[in-house]
A and B are shown apart, each in its own frame.
Chain A
């Protein structure tokens, strides 16, 4: 009957790296692998490596955040456009038909920006594709629109492409380093 019950020992301390409970017998933290009974050098090296890991993680998240913010900017720009179109054409019969597509674009970019923190890859790819389609439609309607605000367009597309790359790298990085 000696295996019928187990006695759970009281946690001896908190892990210095991840602050979860560690037991008296533990040589390493079961959650992050911190050498609880290691030498001071081993412990400092572990903490330093963890900090580097988080710096890398922060870098990826930063690029994804910038891409997400680009989607918000686009949403704002299309909202302003929709309001401008509506108020300058409000007496015309088909004002809704002209304003509604622009308003839908604004809402789409807003939703994609909002979800870009949770599902960065999907949202940024969709945002970039939508932006490219809108630009092609503008060029078909007025070829001169290709050069209008070209620097802004390049910056937005650049941020979105970097965001997609970072989202891909972040997924691989998390898998390699056992980060949930």
Chain B
């Protein structure tokens, strides 16, 4: 029994991968031989659970260093700060270098344009400007205090230089190498692109150990993660992070 007439071009067709009969493109199975039409799924080449365990080790080690440097009163000297920075840098470099053959492509900068770099740096500085005033308002309103970055440098002859080095240069380099370099690359093998960016952004945000700051840390990390995946290089993220932190430092210095 025939019900309606429609142009043949309107129905996309394909050939069955097994019996080669012409079938509708939308068919999941051949209605003649019953063969599944999607290509056979290749067995997974990477053990995703092992990769996640490796990423967890990186995260826990990074977390322990951050907790020790932030909360243990006996470890709040300049010498210890230097020690913790070396620990963080070593962790980031070591994990990044574990899959050097694959990760080294992130250190290339194939589509470099000065206009794009300026755009990202501009967005970062604008973001830092907004965060500075909103965080300042929150600190005064909720905690009745004003935040000061690395007050242990105050009085030092090189205070401004040290502040920029420890606040802007080293975090931009080593946090990016660790989180957008190593961690995000592992997560991209474990989950789809969206989930990988989201997980790396969330882990990056909570490692700062300030739950109030999550309101700006999560969007900030999501944006950097997106830039890293879109541009397929780590350099734009490093410059973005550097400009953001540098702007925050300048607010304190000037």
Whether A5 touches B5, Cβ cut-off 8 Å, given contacts A100-B142, A129-B206, is yes
A1-38 interface bits toward B, Cβ cutoff 8 Å, 1 = contact, 0 = none = 00111111110000000000011011111111101000
The complex places the Cα of A137 from the Cα of B72 at a distance, in Å, of 11
Asked if B27 is at the interface (CB within 8 A of a chain A CB), the reply is yes
- Complex interface: stretch among B31-39, B79-87, B121-129: B31-39
* Cβ–Cβ < 8 Å partners of A137 in chain B: 67, 71, 209
Minimum CB–CB distance for A135 against chain B, Å = 11
B49 near A8 with CB under 8 A, answer no
B1-32 interface bits toward A, Cβ cutoff 8 Å, 1 = contact, 0 = none = 11111111001000000000001101111111
B102-141 interface bits toward A, Cβ cutoff 8 Å, 1 = contact, 0 = none = 0000000000000000000000000000000000000000
B24 near A30 with CB under 8 A, answer yes
- Complex interface: stretch among B154-162, B195-203, B233-241: B195-203
A105 near B31 with CB under 8 A, answer no
Asked if B227 is at the interface (CB within 8 A of a chain A CB), the reply is no
Q: Which residue of A lies closest to B60 (CB)?
A: A132
A96 near B142 with CB under 8 A, answer yes
Whether A5 touches B7, Cβ cut-off 8 Å, given contacts A35-B34, A133-B209, is yes
* Cβ–Cβ < 8 Å partners of B72 in chain A: 140
- Complex interface: stretch among A48-56, A64-72, A147-155, A164-172: A164-172
Contact residues of A between 75 and 96, Cβ < 8 Å to B: 93-94, 96
Indicate which residue in A26, A104, A129 contacts B211 across the interface (CB closer than 8 Å).
A104
A129 near B28 with CB under 8 A, answer no
Asked if B254 is at the interface (CB within 8 A of a chain A CB), the reply is no
A129 near B212 with CB under 8 A, answer no
* Cβ–Cβ < 8 Å partners of A119 in chain B: 194-195, 198
Q: Which residue of B lies closest to A140 (CB)?
A: B71
* Cβ–Cβ < 8 Å partners of B38 in chain A: 178
Asked if B94 is at the interface (CB within 8 A of a chain A CB), the reply is no
Asked if B216 is at the interface (CB within 8 A of a chain A CB), the reply is no
A85-116 interface bits toward B, Cβ cutoff 8 Å, 1 = contact, 0 = none = 00000000110110011001100100000000
B11 near A7 with CB under 8 A, answer no
* Cβ–Cβ < 8 Å partners of A4 in chain B: 7-8
The complex places the Cα of A141 from the Cα of B101 at a distance, in Å, of 42
The complex places the Cα of A23 from the Cα of B24 at a distance, in Å, of 13
Asked if B93 is at the interface (CB within 8 A of a chain A CB), the reply is no
B176-212 interface bits toward A, Cβ cutoff 8 Å, 1 = contact, 0 = none = 0000000000000011001100110011001101011
* Cβ–Cβ < 8 Å partners of B31 in chain A: 22-23, 25-30
* Cβ–Cβ < 8 Å partners of B166 in chain A: none
Minimum CB–CB distance for B187 against chain A, Å = 9
Asked if B74 is at the interface (CB within 8 A of a chain A CB), the reply is no
Minimum CB–CB distance for A66 against chain B, Å = 18
Minimum CB–CB distance for B34 against chain A, Å = 4
Indicate which residue in A33, A96, A136, A140 contacts B28 across the interface (CB closer than 8 Å).
A33
Asked if A125 is at the interface (CB within 8 A of a chain B CB), the reply is yes
The complex places the Cα of A22 from the Cα of B32 at a distance, in Å, of 12
The complex places the Cα of A3 from the Cα of B13 at a distance, in Å, of 13
Minimum CB–CB distance for B192 against chain A, Å = 9
24 CB contacts below 8 A, A to B, read A4-B7, A5-B6, A5-B7, A6-B7, A7-B4, A8-B6, A9-B2, A10-B2, A23-B31, A27-B32, A30-B23, A33-B28, A104-B211, A108-B214, A119-B195, A121-B195, A121-B199, A122-B198, A129-B206, A133-B207, A140-B72, A168-B49, A172-B44, A178-B38
Apart from A96-B142, A126-B203, A133-B206, 18 more pairs, CB < 8 Å: A4-B7, A5-B6, A6-B5, A7-B5, A9-B3, A25-B31, A28-B32, A30-B24, A32-B29, A94-B144, A97-B143, A97-B144, A101-B211, A101-B212, A108-B211, A121-B195, A129-B59, A175-B41
Instruction: Mark A residues whose CB is within 8 Å of B.
Output: 3-10, 22-23, 25-33, 35, 93-94, 96-97, 100-101, 104-105, 108, 119, 121-122, 125-126, 129-130, 132-133, 136-137, 140, 164-165, 168, 172, 175-176, 178
